[in-house]
């Protein structure tokens, strides 16, 4: 049976060593991608740090990059308003969806609805944007022109982050130990009493981590918001005012930006990434300390 | 007794109300999903035909089809996968099989990938533009678009493959060690074959992510709608085509609807397949060798 040895085993010591090297270098390259992204964002935005003071992003009179006015605040407020609005709608809807799947639906409809949410998560942002542009914007326009507005942005964003919230909340609910339910039922708690009094506290960190993840996604979303939000650089005074987000600003102006203008766009990209990194770090930390 | 029953009826009322609210939310979400799909089908189905799929766009996309766009999309996707898959799978194997969970190197790689997963796609676009298009001099090309996408796909490919490898029962590794198999042989003959469904599911997820992407390709693979002649030509991806038709081309709605319909059908098929694979994985953990 020596032939078996040759067909199953590679010449052991040498290939194992080789394999280890191959794997190690692959992993190093994968890890380097993130460092490269950081490096290039910093390098490209370096000119701005060198000869523009950072306060100018707040104190400049407006955003007119061709005339050296770089006030990023209207776009920051647009980004925050849109994200917060979307979270405001998506959190109740997402958690209700998760509760429905775990505690109310029959197994059949639970599976069906979960699949629907998963498919919703797979719809690309440009399709959401396109649908918003052709359906939502005209609809809002009938009530309150111009239609392309903060509200349209919020609604489209809601649809995009709802699956994230629903699926993470679903995972958190499923992880609540069954004994908790049985004890609650034995105490005579009603279904909502059980969900509110037992499940929510037990699943809280998981849900919060999901919400933070969704917030990161909302802040960074580009195309869908760009297509429906009107892209006027201003502080929104009502839901029906058009706004421009930081990410949309990059996508809109990158094509013709030169010199300082280009660097400022990289700075806003850097800002966006730091915001999202902080949020995802927070979510990861929460996930890790779930039982602490 | 009276007190208690009065209290109880209040609870019953409250429970009913909340149940109603939850069902309303679920109905609302399902209705919007169906609304979106119905809209796309209604707007796109009349424009959709075999010729639409194989013709090249004419008159900025108002007439003609999406033939060259589909070719560019597939090329971008292929570049991304050819680069990302080997990297991702070697990283996953290393993380799952060769370094302890607590090792410094492993933690560092995992952390960096976790951060990478959260980076917004427009930032990938900025990076791709600065690094691949300008620094490496690839310009606006399918190659730089594909490489940018490869960076974006890494985290999802690694995490699915790592989870798949970890789901292979430890008895496999111990039996292999007892038989005196080398680790390389164990990996290629036992672990990877056993993890194939997970690898495939991750691959499909990655493909779905890649063909849905717009923002990262905006300044890397470019806008040119001609049939690409080589990987260094600019090529417009399908998602970008929809964006351009709906934002920059007056009267481009009908082809935009049809392109969006094509994209969504593609993605639904891919997602359903990957769900099937993941589901099969759950129902029978141990694969027949």
| Residue-level pLDDT at A113 | 94
Largest pairwise CA distance in chain B: 85
To the nearest whole angstrom, how far is the Cα of A238 from the nearest Cα of chain B?
A: 24
Q: What's the half-sphere exposure (Cβ side, CA atoms, 13 Å) at A160?
A: 31
Question: Closest-CA residue in chain B for A89?
Answer: B25
- Same domain? B242 vs B162: yes
CATH code for the domain in which residue B142 is found: 1.10.3720.10
Nearest Cα of chain A lies from the Cα of B188 at a distance, in angstroms, of 10
Are residues B81 and B193 both part of a single domain?
Answer: yes
Residues facing A70 on adjacent strands: A63
Mean pLDDT check: name the lowest of A56-60, A240-244, B244-248. A56-60
Selecting from B29, B98, B212 the residue whose C-beta is nearest the C-beta of A124 gives B212
Restricting to B residues 174-203, those with a Cβ less than 8 Å away from any Cβ of A are: 179-185, 187, 189
Closest CB to A124: pick one of B86, B263, B272.
B263
> If residue B162 lies in a helix (H) or strand (E), which one and from where to where?
helix B142-166
Number of structural domains chain B divides into: 2
Residue found under tokens 């908790």: A180
* Pairwise CA distance, residues A146 & A148, whole Å: 6
Provide the pLDDT for residue B1.
41
Quick check: B104 contacting A, CB < 8 Å?
Answer: no
Taking the CA of residue A61 and the nearest CA in chain B, the distance in Å comes to 26
Does residue B289 fall inside a structural domain? no
* Dihedral, A270, A271, A277, A280 alpha carbons, nearest 10: -140
Residue of B nearest to A249 (CA): B122
CA distances from B100 to A14, B82, B94, B107, B167 (A): 22, 28, 9, 9, 16
**Residue B19 shares a structural domain with residue B151:** no
Q: Are A81 and A152 in contact (CB under 8 A)?
A: no
Same domain? For B257 and B180 the reply is yes
What pLDDT is attached to residue A11?
55
Give the tens place of pLDDT for each residue, B82-141. 999 999 999 999 999 888 888 888 888 988 898 898 889 999 999 999 999 999 988 899
Nearest in space to A27 (alpha carbons), one of B114, B105, B185 = B105
Q: Which two tokens stand for residue B42?
A: 């209604």
Q: Residue B286: is its pLDDT beyond 60?
A: no
Sign, CA dihedral B208-B210-B215-B217, equals: negative
Q: A44 to chain B, minimum CA–CA distance in Å?
A: 8
Domain annotation for chain A: domains and CATH numbers: 71-245 (1.10.3720.10)
Spatial contact of B72 and B236, defined as CB atoms under 8 Å apart: yes
In B, minimum Cα distance to A15 occurs at: B184
DSSP 8-state secondary structure symbol assigned to residue B289: -
Q: Which residue has the tokens 């198999």?
A: B181
CB nearest B126 (choices: A41, A159, A281): A41
Helices (H), A69-149: 73-99, 107-122, 125-131, 137-143
> What's the mean pLDDT when you consider all of chain B?
87
Domain ranges, residue B35:
2-44
Q: Is residue B57 part of a domain?
A: yes
* Angle at alpha carbon of residue B112, lines to A171 and A271, rounded to 5°: 90
Task: Work out the pLDDT band at A292, boundaries 50, 70, 90.
Answer: very low
The Cα–Cα gap between A12 and B79 comes to 34
């Amino acid at each position: 049976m020596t032939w078996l040895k040759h067909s199953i085993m590679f010449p052991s010591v040498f290939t194992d060593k080789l394999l280890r090297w191959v794997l190690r270098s692959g992993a190093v390259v994968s890890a380097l991608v993130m460092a490269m992204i950081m490096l290039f964002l910093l390098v490209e935005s370096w000119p701005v740090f060198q000869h523009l003071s950072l306060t100018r992003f707040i104190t400049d009179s407006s955003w007119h990059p061709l005339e050296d006015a770089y006030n990023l605040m209207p776009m920051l407020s647009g980004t925050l308003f849109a994200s917060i609005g979307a979270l405001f709608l998506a959190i109740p809807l997402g958690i209700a969806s998760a509760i429905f799947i775990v505690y109310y639906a029959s197994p059949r409809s639970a599976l069906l609805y979960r699949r629907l949410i998963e498919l919703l998560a797979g719809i690309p942002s440009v399709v959401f944007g396109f649908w918003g542009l052709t359906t939502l914007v005209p609809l809002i326009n009938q009530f309150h022109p111009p239609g392309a507005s903060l509200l349209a942005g919020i609604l489209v964003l809601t649809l995009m982050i709802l699956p994230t919230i629903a699926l993470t909340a679903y995972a958190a609910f499923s992880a609540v130990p069954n004994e908790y339910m049985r004890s609650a039922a034995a105490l005579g708690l009603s279904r909502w009493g059980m969900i509110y009094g037992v499940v929510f506290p037990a699943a809280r960190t998981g849900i919060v981590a999901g919400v933070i993840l969704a917030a990161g996604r909302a802040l960074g979303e580009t195309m869908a918001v760009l297509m429906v939000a009107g892209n006027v650089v201003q502080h929104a005074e009502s839901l029906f005012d058009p706004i421009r987000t930081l990410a949309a600003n990059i996508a809109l102006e990158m094509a013709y930006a030169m010199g300082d203008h280009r660097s400022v766009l990289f700075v806003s990209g850097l800002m966006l990434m730091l915001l999202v990194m902080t949020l995802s770090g927070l979510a990861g930390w929460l996930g890790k300390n779930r039982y602490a | 007794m009276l007190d208690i029953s009065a209290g109880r009826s209040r609870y019953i009322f409250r429970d009913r109300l909340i149940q109603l609210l939850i069902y309303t939310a679920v109905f609302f979400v399902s209705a919007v999903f169906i609304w979106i799909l119905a809209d796309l089908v209604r707007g796109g189905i009349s424009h959709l035909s075999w010729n639409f799929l194989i013709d090249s766009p004419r008159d900025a996309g108002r007439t003609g089809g999406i033939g060259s766009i589909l070719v560019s999309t597939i090329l971008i996707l292929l570049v991304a996968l050819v680069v990302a898959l080997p990297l991702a799978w070697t990283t996953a194997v290393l993380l799952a099989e060769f370094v302890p969970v607590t090792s410094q190197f492993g933690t560092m790689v995992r952390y960096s990938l976790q951060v990478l997963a959260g980076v917004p796609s427009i930032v990938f676009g900025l990076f791709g533009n600065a690094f691949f298009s300008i620094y490496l001099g690839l310009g606006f090309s399918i190659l730089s678009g594909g490489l940018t996408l490869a960076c974006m796909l890494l985290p999802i490919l690694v995490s699915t493959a790592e989870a798949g490898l970890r789901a292979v029962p430890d008895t496999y590794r111990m039996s292999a060690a007892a038989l005196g198999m080398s680790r390389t042989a164990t990996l290629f003959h036992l672990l990877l074959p056993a993890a194939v469904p997970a690898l495939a599911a991750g691959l499909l997820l990655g493909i779905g992510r890649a063909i849905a992407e717009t923002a990262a390709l905006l300044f890397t693979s470019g806008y040119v709608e001609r049939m690409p002649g080589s990987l260094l030509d600019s090529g417009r991806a399908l998602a970008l085509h929809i964006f351009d038709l709906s934002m920059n081309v007056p009267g481009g709605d009908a082809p935009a609807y049809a392109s969006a319909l094509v994209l969504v059908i593609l993605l639904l098929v891919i997602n359903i397949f990957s769900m099937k694979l993941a589901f099969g994985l759950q129902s029978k953990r141990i694969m027949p060798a």
